């Protein structure tokens, strides 16, 4: 099991564009073309996974089905956050042929019971590499609630930059490259809270 560190930077749209341009000037290189990331998150009736994320419980997990752009090539991802770092396992789901099948999917988890779709998150992701770091810029983030059965799509008024590094990289190394303060930015939590306030 290979753990990694993940630092997030919550930014305004203009600050994100400025920081991206600045890092490109310093030598940051594009890894892959930009694509749209779609994730369907799963939770139980009590929203226990959401609550643990909000409370910062360790260890905790997130379970989602992910696909890119309009290609309905689905994978199941389980993200584990622990004291040691973060770990993600990925499983192809060839039996899921379309979004309707995803929305009908249920999982049983020994810790949380029956899990069903609760939120869809979509955003544009730009992939870069800089000084042994993998840096992604996520913008135009939108949320659609499945828990509250609404057709409303909520749009986030902020963007997020994520810096992924090996577990042995110190925070001082990240700070020497990026001066902005790190911040918590859970798309799943932010999305559910959008609808909880409405």
pLDDT of 121-132, one tens digit each? Answer: 999 999 999 998
Domains of the chain with CATH codes: 4-197 (3.20.100.30)
pLDDT of 171-184, one tens digit each? Answer: 888 888 898 999 99
Q: Examine the pLDDT at 112 and tell me if it is beyond 90.
A: yes
Q: Examine the pLDDT at 102 and tell me if it is beyond 70.
A: yes
d(CA 40, CA 106): 12
Which token pair is 152? 């409303």
d(CA 177, CA 120): 33
Q: What is the pTM of this model?
A: 0.92
DSSP labels, 60-72: EEEEEEEEETTEE
d(CA 68, CA 15): 26
Q: Examine the pLDDT at 82 and tell me if it is beyond 90.
A: no
Give the model's confidence band at 197: pLDDT under 50 very low, under 70 low, under 90 confident, else very high. low
Q: Examine the pLDDT at 75 and tell me if it is beyond 60.
A: yes
Give the CA-trace dihedral at 56, 59, 63, 69, to 10 degrees.
70
Give the model's confidence band at 198: pLDDT under 50 very low, under 70 low, under 90 confident, else very high. very low
Q: Examine the pLDDT at 1 and tell me if it is beyond 70.
A: no
């Amino acid at each position: 099991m290979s753990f990694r560190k993940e630092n997030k930077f919550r930014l305004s749209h203009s600050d994100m564009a400025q920081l991206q341009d600045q890092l490109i000037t310093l030598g940051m290189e594009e890894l892959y073309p930009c694509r749209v990331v779609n994730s369907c998150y799963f939770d139980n009736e009590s929203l226990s996974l959401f609550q643990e994320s909000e409370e910062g419980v360790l260890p905790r997990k997130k379970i989602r089905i992910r696909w890119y752009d309009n290609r309905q090539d689905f994978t199941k991802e389980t993200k584990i956050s622990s004291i040691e770092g973060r770990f993600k396992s990925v499983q192809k789901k060839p039996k899921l042929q379309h979004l309707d099948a995803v929305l009908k999917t249920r999982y049983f988890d020994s810790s949380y019971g029956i899990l069903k779709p609760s939120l869809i998150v979509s955003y544009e992701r730009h992939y870069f590499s800089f000084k042994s770091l993998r840096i992604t810029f996520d913008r135009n983030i939108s949320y659609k609630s499945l828990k509250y059965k609404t057709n409303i799509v909520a749009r986030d008024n902020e963007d997020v930059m994520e810096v992924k590094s090996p577990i042995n990289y110190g925070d001082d190394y990240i700070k020497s490259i990026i001066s902005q303060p790190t911040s918590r930015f859970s798309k799943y939590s932010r999305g559910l809270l959008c609808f909880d306030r409405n």
